[in-house]
Structure 1
Amino acid sequence: MVAERYLPPWFSVAPMMEWTDNHYRFLARLISKHAWLYTEMLAAETIVYQKGDLDRFLAYTPEQHPIVLQIGGSNLENLAKATELANPYGYDEINFNCGCPSPRVAGHGCFGVRLMLDPKFVAEAMSVIAAKSDAPVSVKCRIGVDNHDSYNELCDFIYKVSSQSPTRHFIIHARKALLNGISPADNRKIPPLKYEFYYALLRDFPDLRFTINGGINSIDEVNAARREGAHGVMVGRAAFNNPWYTLGHVDTAIYGAPCSDLTRRQVLEQYQVYGDSVLGKYGLKPTVRDVAKPLLGLFYSEPGNGLWKRKADAAFQHCTTIKSFFEETLGAIPDSVLDSPVGKPPSDFIDTFANLNGILPPPYTEREQDVLYA
């Protein structure tokens, strides 16, 4: 079981289309050992119709555990087939997308957040997925859709899905979705956050586990949410746009692990080996640009960041290896930035960790020591 192998998902990185791919997840795991990572959403039909090329969509490096596969779809047969095909890859959880407001998904595709209007189907889908998987299952959803946005309607969705399927974990994006008239980007910021809905779920469904998502962008905010009782916190674009500082304190400030002296230079040395090993693995893909994309936020707000990005943009035009890409671009970044560790977590992290988890930092149990110090 997952619980025997990994620490709980107190912190996770949200599934983001065209962002949380294999390359990003490899980088994220170099920085944080304990953050839970999610794949991009994969449509069940993609898995089923590409079953001759499954590694391209489902394979990942073993270091990426704990990792969650997010599936989307509205056809029970395809969801069953897709989950069965994915099962041998050994994901640590299978998550069903009931939160994406994209017109391609919720509109033409008739899945994503639109499924919140049909909890009976979602329960059936979760039962089918669970039956075909060795991993636990979860649902990621919003707090409502269009005018179906009352707390009672959210409770009805949670109750029906949890009582009619094995689903015990819900990731709640604390905004409703508007299906007509605004873009997916606007759907991430225009509907107001209603954290009170999330915390009410904790009260009203004490036997379920809820992760909060939406508007939380720093480790301080993560721990503030957990102090309020959140079982887990999911962070989205901040973990991509500023991975060094967002992920760099996760293990210490959230999981209580020993401080690390890891530097960006060490991360890049390991990433270079990985990157050059995967270039062109699938014909012309991935390219140097594809592999280097997750690195573009690594020097967020640091001296030389602007020049580094300009050099990177030029290097994408002709570099054929990650090694040559680094040789051409990293001169923009001062050695002091490359060689400084992420630094200590906030000074009160020990008290925070103790208060949140009901335990003190070391000594840990034998299993916790194995995980934290591995």
Structure 2
Amino acid sequence: MISKAKSDACGSSRLSVAPMMDWTDRHCRMFHRELSRNALLYTEMVTAPALVRGGALHLLEHDPAEAPVALQLGGSDPQELARAARLGADAGYGEVNLNCGCPSDRVQSGSFGAVLMEKPDLVADCVAAMIDAVPGDLPVTVKCRIGVDDQSPHDSLPAFLERIAAAGVRRVQIHARKAWLQGLSPKQNRDVPPLDHDLVVAMKQAFPDLHVSINGGIETLEQAQGLLARGLDGVMIGRAAYHAPFDILGDADARIFGRPAQTRTRADVARAMYPYIDAHLGAGGRLNQITRHMLGLFAGQPGARHWRRTLSDGSHRAGAGIEVLEEALRRVADATPVAV
């Protein structure tokens, strides 16, 4: 029997929030889960060496309420990744994902991330070892780019997908941009290489048995719906889901998953976080560790600037608590025009 966490991860991949370093930590995921019950969430990338050699098992900590949630791993040693994948399975994650898309210098120096696009045979060995190490119902997936540097994506991407599919991978998330490992910074790699959504759609047509999710340059639910209508299995949204979370995730359950439309306001979502915040503070945590992920809740709304400023200024103070959020909500309410 497939566990609920694992089956939820499969179904929820219709819309997911991309793994983002320094952003999608456990507090961010609890906030995003408050907005959407169905979207698939991802951890920040966790390196296999940190888990296996460094014993940093605290990096696997998460709340069961975050489910469905996937663990993203970074690494290039098949046996080390296998052990890390097993640790992720034992920790209760609903998916284990291999990062083949990060272009940072630090990741390249560890011989993983986007540089693995040039080593499909090694990636195949890695995912085969990971699949063998975890329960058979736990998906092992791959997030990749369409290519790197001087590769021709129309040639290299299908060859890469064919190799990992032969190794047992059934789900992929494709960032529809090349990664330029020489000459562009990680930030530039998120924007400068041109998008090729059509190529990702073509890959779904070429590999009908693969579950293909698209990532890159998707900023609205309308765009997500349009890409799903073109035959893709899933859409993964990154920065837009972080900077304007209510706009992306607040309506996702209804518009992407066909669930009843939510009637909660942004203020309702903020207050729904209070029990989690109180528990975090009671355990010795700091308010800003959570509220830094909530700054975009009122993006595009009257009072958004007051919300951000009040949280930013107040959450860093010693002893700061729920009163900071209540003050921020009052400032938003004062700035909101009254309907007549």
Q: Mapping of 1:14-33 within 5 angstroms?
A: 14-33=18-37
Match for residue 35 of structure 1 among 36, 39, 46:
39
The C-alpha deviation readout for 1:201-246, integer Å capped at 9, x for no partner, is 1121111111011111111000000111111111000000000111
- The Cα of 1:4 is off from its aligned counterpart by 7.1
Question: Normalised by the size of structure 1, how large is the TM-score?
Answer: 0.84
The C-alpha deviation readout for 1:112-161, integer Å capped at 9, x for no partner, is 00001111110111011112222111000000000013311111111111
CA contact (8 A) 1:79 1:125 kept: yes
Amino acid at match of 2:180: L
Q: Residue 258 of structure 1 corresponds to which residue in structure 2? A: 260
1:10 aligns with 2:9: no
Secondary structure of the 2:160 match is helix
Match for residue 160 of structure 1 among 157, 163, 181:
163
Q: Mapping of 1:85-164 within 5 angstroms?
A: 85-106=87-108, 108-134=109-135, 135-163=138-166
Q: Residue 299 of structure 1 corresponds to which residue in structure 2? A: 298
CA contact (8 A) 2:12 2:68 kept: no
Amino acid at match of 1:138: T
Match for residue 275 of structure 1 among 274, 277, 298:
277
The C-alpha deviation readout for 1:277-326, integer Å capped at 9, x for no partner, is 12385x7xx42221111110001011111122222222134142431322
Q: Residue 308 of structure 1 corresponds to which residue in structure 2? A: 307
Higher deviation after alignment, 258-267 or 118-127: 258-267
Q: Mapping of 1:326-337 within 5 angstroms?
A: 326-334=325-333
Q: Mapping of 1:64-79 within 5 angstroms?
A: 64-79=66-81
The C-alpha deviation readout for 1:57-80, integer Å capped at 9, x for no partner, is 112122211111100011223212
- The Cα of 1:25 is off from its aligned counterpart by 0.7
- The Cα of 1:336 is off from its aligned counterpart by 9.1
- Structure 1 stretches of at least 4 aligned residues deviating more than 4 Å after TM superposition: none
- The Cα of 1:327 is off from its aligned counterpart by 3.7
| Structure 1 unaligned blocks of 5 or more | 338-374
Amino acid at match of 1:32: S
Distance in structure 1 (CA, Å) of the matches to 2:112 and 2:150: 18
Distance in structure 2 (CA, Å) of the matches to 1:301 and 1:4: 31
Secondary structure of the 1:240 match is helix
- The Cα of 1:36 is off from its aligned counterpart by 0.7
Distance in structure 2 (CA, Å) of the matches to 1:92 and 1:30: 18
Secondary structure of the 1:275 match is helix
CA contact (8 A) 2:195 2:217 kept: yes
Q: Percent sequence identity over matched residues?
A: 38
| Structure 2 unaligned blocks of 5 or more | none
Distance in structure 2 (CA, Å) of the matches to 1:330 and 1:251: 25
Going from structure 1 to structure 2, the CA distance change for 1:151 and 1:280 (only over 3 Å counts) comes to farther
Amino acid at match of 1:149: S
CA contact (8 A) 2:142 2:173 kept: yes
1:45 aligns with 2:49: yes
Distance in structure 2 (CA, Å) of the matches to 1:5 and 1:86: 14
Amino acid at match of 1:329: A
Secondary structure of the 1:69 match is strand
Going from structure 1 to structure 2, the CA distance change for 1:199 and 1:69 (only over 3 Å counts) comes to same
Distance in structure 2 (CA, Å) of the matches to 1:334 and 1:251: 26
Q: Residue 212 of structure 1 corresponds to which residue in structure 2? A: 214
Amino acid at match of 1:192: P
- The Cα of 1:46 is off from its aligned counterpart by 1.6
- The Cα of 1:7 is off from its aligned counterpart by 3.2
Secondary structure of the 1:101 match is coil
Distance in structure 2 (CA, Å) of the matches to 1:294 and 1:202: 33
Q: Residue 187 of structure 1 corresponds to which residue in structure 2? A: 189
Distance in structure 2 (CA, Å) of the matches to 1:6 and 1:103: 32
- The Cα of 1:187 is off from its aligned counterpart by 0.3
Amino acid at match of 2:37: K
CA contact (8 A) 1:288 1:319 kept: no
Secondary structure of the 2:73 match is strand
CA contact (8 A) 1:319 1:325 kept: no
Question: Normalised by the size of structure 2, how large is the TM-score?
Answer: 0.92
Going from structure 1 to structure 2, the CA distance change for 1:269 and 1:50 (only over 3 Å counts) comes to farther
The C-alpha deviation readout for 1:89-108, integer Å capped at 9, x for no partner, is 111111000000011102x1
Distance in structure 2 (CA, Å) of the matches to 1:66 and 1:327: 30
Secondary structure of the 1:39 match is strand
Going from structure 1 to structure 2, the CA distance change for 1:272 and 1:118 (only over 3 Å counts) comes to same
CA contact (8 A) 1:16 1:40 kept: yes
Amino acid at match of 1:235: I
Distance in structure 2 (CA, Å) of the matches to 1:90 and 1:323: 31
1:84 aligns with 2:86: yes
- The Cα of 1:329 is off from its aligned counterpart by 2.8
CA contact (8 A) 1:149 1:176 kept: no
CA contact (8 A) 1:99 1:140 kept: yes
